[in-house]
Structure 1
Amino acid sequence: MSSSSDEENAGNFFLGMILETAKIVAEMEEDGEDEETSQPRTRVAALNRDREGAYERLAGDYFSKNYVYTNEQFGCRFQMSRQLFVRIANDLANYDDFFTLRYDGRGRRGFTTFQKCTSPLCQLAYGTASDSWNESLTMSERMSWGCLYEFFKGIVNLYRKVYLRRPTKKDIGKLYTFHEETHGFPGMLGSIDCTHWQWCNCPVAWCDQYMSGDIGYPSIILEAACSQDLWIWHALFGVVGSNNDLNLLTRSHVFDDIDSSFMLNGVSYKHGYYLADDTYPSYTAMVKTIPELSDEKRKKMFAKWQELARRDVERLFDVIKAKWGIIQQPAHAFEPKKVRYIMYACLILQT
């Protein structure tokens, strides 16, 4: 009897606590409703943007029959020809309805395909903030950032398999011939190297794995291999900055699925080779400067030609940074996936 009475008292106690808590919560909600009703809710007034007028000015300056700015001026501002811009805009409009002209639920006119492509290209070329083109395109910061991300995503999904593809047997033969005639290295596939892109908005919990001791800030590594004419046929971006050139090769696919056999002086070699700096491991597919050689004159001559030919990939990094201002600055995206889209899109547009 005593145990049953104790259980009944405990149940009554917990029931009373629940009822008391519910009463307190109800009183708090009533007080909150009184405060909300006494202070009316205000919303930011929508700006009266002349989107149609902005498109007419944009079309009159660049895309009409009697456009104002010449092809040279267009190329300087957009880092591409007018024909290429129109082609990319049409491909994006066919790929995703986001880049088409749409109307919202209130019947308000949206932005056209050219407006949605002009904003990300201006941000890409000049590295400016998303709201810096508000006056000319009448586009808000949120819309500009949305266009920028969707533009990068569309470029990568549309053109990556074409412009960042692996070289075929015919392409490899052209690379061998071209590099032998240009640099004097038979069997050379290209030059390979890595560079770091600072990530200023890296989450604090990830800073240690994205930070390297010799750099001092979070970064993401880009590994690229290119030919003398800056054709990028291998690009790996997204490896955390704490890695180096040695352990980066374990994640790279630069040696995979390439039939690169060649003949030299009657001897058949199974794989071609890359020109690399001294930080890479001593693989047969990596040709570096000879550290020690009895003939000092031959050593200096080989080192000179090897370093000159190896600068192709370094020149690629400089060209990309000079052409696309967004890479000159630290990456501001909060997600690694968006940072990868930005880098791959810049590589595709460069190719």
Structure 2
Amino acid sequence: MASGSGSGSDSGEGVGGNGEGAGGWDSEASRQIREWAYTSAEISRLMREALQQQQPQPAVHRPIQRRAVVPRDHVGAHQRLFEDYFAEQPRFGDNFFRRRQLAYGGPADMFDEYLHIGETTTLICVEYFCQSVSEIFRDTYLRKLTPQDCHDMMVMHGSQHGFPGMLGNIDCMHWEWKNCPTAWKGHYTTGFKVKNPTMILEVVADYRLWIWHAYFGVVGSNNDINVLHSSPLFNEQCRGVGPAISFVVNDNQHHMGYYLVDGICPRWSVFVKMIRCPLEKKIFFAVRQEAASKDVERAFGVLQA
């Protein structure tokens, strides 16, 4: 009896417990299903809203800005230009013809009222002109020196300045960079007496204002000495592949040309420095040397004109 009773009691409790567990599981599953259904509905709603926002909006009506057509008298402007500069007896000579847009650096439409040429046409013409100059004079000026060039320059400087064996003047200038990018201004701003960043330019110019060497210094604080040390001017001479030079002064044979420089340059054998306080015996030499050093200053003036 006890055994049967206990067995029945255990069996009843087990059934009752299973019933309560099944009911709890059903309620938890139903709750999760409802949450998933709500989340799914919410996701669907958000996706529909996103798709609606991505749909193209109706275009906003804007007024059409049409290009203004300016009537220009091209025939009359051509006749006026021909009579001013290209006729047999022009109104203005060659000196006035050279002093134009390239020299002054004026805007593209500077001569619109005179030549009746628009800005785009002017820019295209200037570009073609520069390309033509490069193609015509590249083999004459945009190249390295040859032995014949060195000989001609030594003869020319000997006859013009009284310095046989002279190859030119070396000097540096600060080239103002008005359109320097903002991120680079700190690298090119120095204590020079201009408000814009500058790049230091080293050139060698002769009496004819032929600049046959030009070198812009590297980023950083630069002066004539720093630029000279990084310049490739004497690379070929250091490797022994430079042009052969030979001239005679006071019955002495020399095999190396020289350059006129200012006082800041080092004492190299290829440099003839300025005499700051010449004595009586050296005054004549200092005066001739100062006159010869004006060649590079004139070249800088042409570049900045």
Structure 2 Cα separation of the partners of residues 13 and 276 of structure 1: 83
Preserved contact between residue 247 and residue 254 of structure 2 (Cα < 8 Å): yes
Matched, 1:137 2:137: no
Q: Which amino acid aligns with 1:74?
A: G
- The answer for the alignment partner of 1:76 in structure 2 is 95
CA offset at residue 167 of structure 1?
2.9
- The answer for the alignment partner of 1:41 in structure 2 is 64
Q: Which amino acid aligns with 1:261?
A: I
CA offset at residue 252 of structure 1?
3.2
Q: Which amino acid aligns with 1:277?
A: D
Structure 1 residues 269, 244: closer, same or farther in 2, change over 3 A? same
Preserved contact between residue 142 and residue 212 of structure 2 (Cα < 8 Å): yes
Matched, 1:156 2:139: no
Structure 1 Cα separation of the partners of residues 272 and 38 of structure 2: 84
Matched, 1:252 2:231: yes
Structure 2 Cα separation of the partners of residues 10 and 152 of structure 1: 70
- Give per-residue Cα distances to partners, 1:155-205, cap 9 Å, x unaligned: 234423312333321222222233233333332111111223322222222
Preserved contact between residue 246 and residue 279 of structure 1 (Cα < 8 Å): yes
Higher mean C-alpha deviation, range 277-286 or range 142-151 = 142-151
Structure 2 Cα separation of the partners of residues 8 and 155 of structure 1: 79
- The answer for the alignment partner of 2:286 in structure 1 is 303
Structure 1 Cα separation of the partners of residues 234 and 36 of structure 2: 73
CA offset at residue 288 of structure 1?
0.8
TM-score (norm 1): 0.62
Q: How does 1:162-241 map to 2 (within 5 A)?
A: 162-216=140-194, 217-236=196-215
Structure 1 Cα separation of the partners of residues 40 and 270 of structure 2: 77
Matched, 1:125 2:148: no
Structure 2 gaps of 5+ residues are: 1-28, 237-241
Higher relative contact order (CA 8 A, sep 6+): 1
- The answer for the alignment partner of 1:348 in structure 2 is none
Structure 2 Cα separation of the partners of residues 306 and 45 of structure 1: 60
Identity of aligned residues (%): 36
TM-score (norm 2): 0.70
Preserved contact between residue 202 and residue 217 of structure 2 (Cα < 8 Å): no
Structure 1 residues 19, 224: closer, same or farther in 2, change over 3 A? farther
Structure 1 residues 131, 20: closer, same or farther in 2, change over 3 A? same
- The answer for the alignment partner of 2:258 in structure 1 is 273
Out of 55, 60, 66, the position equivalent to 1:26 is 55
CA offset at residue 300 of structure 1?
4.4
Structure 1 residues 63, 306: closer, same or farther in 2, change over 3 A? closer
Preserved contact between residue 276 and residue 288 of structure 1 (Cα < 8 Å): yes
- Give per-residue Cα distances to partners, 1:35-86, cap 9 Å, x unaligned: 21xx43232322122334422432344335xx5515xx2312222xxxxxxx
CA offset at residue 25 of structure 1?
3.4
- Give per-residue Cα distances to partners, 1:91-149, cap 9 Å, x unaligned: xxxxxxxxxxxxxxxxxxxxxxxxxxxxxx72123443221211122122233234334
Structure 2 Cα separation of the partners of residues 218 and 134 of structure 1: 32
Preserved contact between residue 131 and residue 139 of structure 1 (Cα < 8 Å): yes
Structure 2 Cα separation of the partners of residues 211 and 166 of structure 1: 32
- Give per-residue Cα distances to partners, 1:314-344, cap 9 Å, x unaligned: 12223x15xxxxx34xxxxxxxxxxxxxxxx
Structure 1 residues 228, 254: closer, same or farther in 2, change over 3 A? same
Q: CA RMSD in A?
A: 3.7
- The answer for the alignment partner of 1:89 in structure 2 is none
Structure 1 Cα separation of the partners of residues 225 and 40 of structure 2: 66
Structure 1 residues 313, 25: closer, same or farther in 2, change over 3 A? same
CA offset at residue 297 of structure 1?
3.1
